[in-house]
Amino acid sequence: MKIVGADIQAITLLPFGASVKLGQMPIISYKNEMFISLCAPLLNGTIAIIFIIIAKMLNIYLGFLIACNLIMCFMNLMPVSELDGGRALSSFLKILLPLQKAELISDIISVLFLVPIIALGIYFLISTGYNFSLLLIGIYLSVNFMFKNFKNRC
C-alpha cells in the first residue's frame, strides 16, 4: 500500500485475516487497487514455494506450513467480495464496465461462490461429525457480504 502512497495507520488481525486502517488515502486507480488486493495471496503463494524449496534442500517435512500458505492463497483468491480475490475482481470489472454494473456482477459472483462454500461446509460437518471450519468461514463471509450490501443501500 505504501507503493501507491497510502498512509497505513493500523493493522488489525481478524478471525479470518486482517484489516488495514488507512489514514489520508490518495485516490488510486482501479489497476493499483487490483494490485494491492492480489499482494497478500501472492505472498502466501511465494512463502509456500520457499517452504517447498527449503524442505527439498534440507530434506525436512514442512507439509503443514506449505498447506497452510497454499490454503490461505487460494481462499483469498476466491472472487468473494470480502476477500482479496473479490476486491481484485471488482476493481478489474470497474475498469471494463460502468460502476453499478461492475458492482452488480461482482455481487452475483460472490453469491455464486458463497452458496457452494456453505453447502460444502454443511457436507463436511455432516460427514465428519465435527469439522465445521468451512461452514463457519462461509457464514462469516456471507454475514459480512450482507452487512456490506445493507450498509451501501442505506
pLDDT digits (tens, 9 = 90+) for 80-127: 988 999 999 999 999 999 999 999 999 999 999 999 999 999 999 999
The label of the residue with cell 458463497 reads 114
pLDDT digits 0-9 by tens, 131-153: 999 999 999 999 999 988 777 66
Per-residue model confidence as pLDDT tens digits over 17-46: 667 776 766 678 899 999 989 999 999 999
pLDDT at 1 exceeding the cut of 70: no
- What is the per-residue pLDDT for 134? 92
3-state secondary structure labels for all residues of the chain? CHHHCCCEEEEEEECCEEEEEECCCCCCCHHHHHHHHHHHHHHHHHHHHHHHHHHHHHCCCCHHHHHHHHHHHHHHHCCCCCCHHHHHHHHHHHHHCCHHHHHHHHHHHHHHHHHHHHHHHHHHHHHHCCCCHHHHHHHHHHHHHHHHHHHHHC
The pLDDT of residue 121 is 96
Please give the Cα distance from 130 to 145 (Å, whole number).
26
Which triple of cell numbers denotes residue 37? 488486493
C-alpha dihedral over 115, 116, 121, 124, to 10 degrees? 150
Please indicate, yes or no, whether the overall pTM of this predicted structure exceeds 0.85: no
Tell me the C-alpha distance between 100 and 153, whole Å: 12
Instruction: Provide, rounded to the nearest whole percent, the portion of the chain with pLDDT above 90.
Output: 69
pLDDT band at 15; cut points 50, 70, 90: low
For cell 505504501, name the residue. 2
What residues does each domain of the chain span?
2-153
